[in-house]
């Protein structure tokens, strides 16, 4: 489609309102925040479910199914289990009508009012450049933890720690960056989170510490939460990907 399609009258949506419509047989979600309009594909990229009823805050919408969160301005997937962005569409107002264009997102030139900057539909999320070649893993590769019996036992113990949102253990999620023996009976673990704002962070840290300190020969486990390099979905094992429906 190259023409604008009218999807609502401007007085139909008050700040905070939203409207789910079909444009060219595509489900789209129109959202008004203050005086800005946003239009995105009404399909969660995790499992193809509608996003329309999800809570919206800080110009982000959260899928009610499994908690994935998307930026309404860029479409970026901000939170697991989604890893792919949602499409963002151009919006403009014209003579009291709100119009969208589903196959173009260069909305600055034609926009008359309230057109948030948006990337091309389907634009990939931010690159994964933050992961160094030393720590990046692919497919079902194990996290790069030193290979010895002690580390293996600790990894097995850490597999008992399950991310409560994703229901996958933290080892298969690729959250464990390093395990070190600091002294007799004292180990140190560098672990990360799928998102710096992950609400399960404190719980995962505490459970990791407890799981390790239950091991024979470990009296103290120090858990260091690190955000560098940032976690990316590439760190997950194939099993974890399968469970999340990521291919």
Kindly list the residues in this chain that would bind ligand FES in the complex (CB under 6 A): 44, 46-47, 49, 63, 65-68, 81-82
The helix/strand/coil state of 204 is helix
* Residue placing its CB nearer to ligand FES in the complex, 10 or 60: 60
Q: Which long-range contacts (CB under 8 A, 24 or more apart) does 19-22 make?
A: 20/50, 20/52
Distance CA 66, CA 51 (A): 11
Measured from the CB atom, the residue of 66 and 101 that comes closer to ligand FES is: 66
Q: State the nearest-atom distance from the C-beta of 242 to ligand FES, in Å.
A: 14
* Nearer to ligand FES (CB atom), residue 65 or residue 159: 65
Q: Which is nearer to ligand FES, 67 or 130 (CB)?
A: 67
Nearest-approach distance from CB 50 to ligand FES, in angstroms: 9
Among 96, 94, 86, 78, smallest CA distance to 118 is for 86
State which residue, 54 or 143, has the beta carbon closest to ligand FES: 54
Least distance CB 54 / ligand FES (angstroms): 8
Shortest distance (Å) from residue 194 CB to ligand FES: 13
In the complex, the smallest distance separating the C-beta of residue 44 from ligand FES, rounded to whole angstroms, is: 3
The Cα 179–Cα 188 span in angstroms is 6
Name the percent of the chain in helix, strand, coil, to the closest 5: 15, 30, 55
The full length of the chain comes to 247
Distance CA 44, CA 66 (A): 10
Q: Which long-range contacts (CB under 8 A, 24 or more apart) does 162-168 make?
A: 163/194, 163/200, 163/204, 164/200, 164/203, 165/66, 165/67, 165/80, 165/198, 165/199, 165/200, 166/66, 166/80, 166/81, 166/194, 166/243, 166/244, 167/243, 168/236, 168/240, 168/243, 168/244
Name the residue nearer to ligand FES (CB basis): 81 or 119: 81
CB closer to ligand FES out of 52 and 116: 52
Cα of 43 vs its chain's centroid, Å = 15
């Amino acid at each position: 489609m190259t023409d604008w399609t009218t999807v609502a009258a401007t007085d139909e949506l008050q700040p905070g309102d939203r409207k789910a419509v079909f444009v060219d047989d595509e489900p789209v979600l129109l959202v008004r925040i203050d005086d800005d309009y946003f239009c995105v594909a009404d399909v969660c990229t995790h499992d193809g479910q509608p996003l329309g009823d999800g809570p919206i805050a800080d110009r982000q919408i959260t899928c009610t199914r499994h908690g994935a969160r998307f930026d309404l301005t860029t479409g970026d997937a901000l939170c697991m289990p989604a890893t792919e962005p949602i499409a963002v569409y151009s919006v403009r107002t014209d003579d009291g009508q709100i119009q969208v264009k589903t196959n173009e997102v260069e909305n600055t030139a034609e926009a008359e009012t309230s057109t948030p900057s948006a990337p091309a539909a389907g634009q990939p999320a931010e690159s994964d450049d933050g992961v160094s070649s030393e720590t990046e893993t692919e497919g079902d590769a194990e996290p790069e933890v030193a290979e010895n019996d002690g580390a293996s036992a600790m990894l097995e113990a850490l597999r008992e720690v399950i991310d409560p949102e994703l229901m996958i253990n933290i080892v298969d999620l690729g959250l464990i960056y390093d395990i070190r023996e600091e002294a007799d009976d004292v180990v140190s673990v560098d672990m990360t989170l799928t998102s710096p704002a992950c609400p399960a962070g404190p719980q995962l840290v505490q459970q990791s510490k407890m799981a390790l300190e239950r091991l024979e020969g470990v009296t103290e486990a120090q858990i260091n939460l690190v955000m560098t390099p940032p976690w990316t979905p590439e760190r997950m094992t194939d099993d974890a990907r399968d469970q999340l429906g990521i291919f």
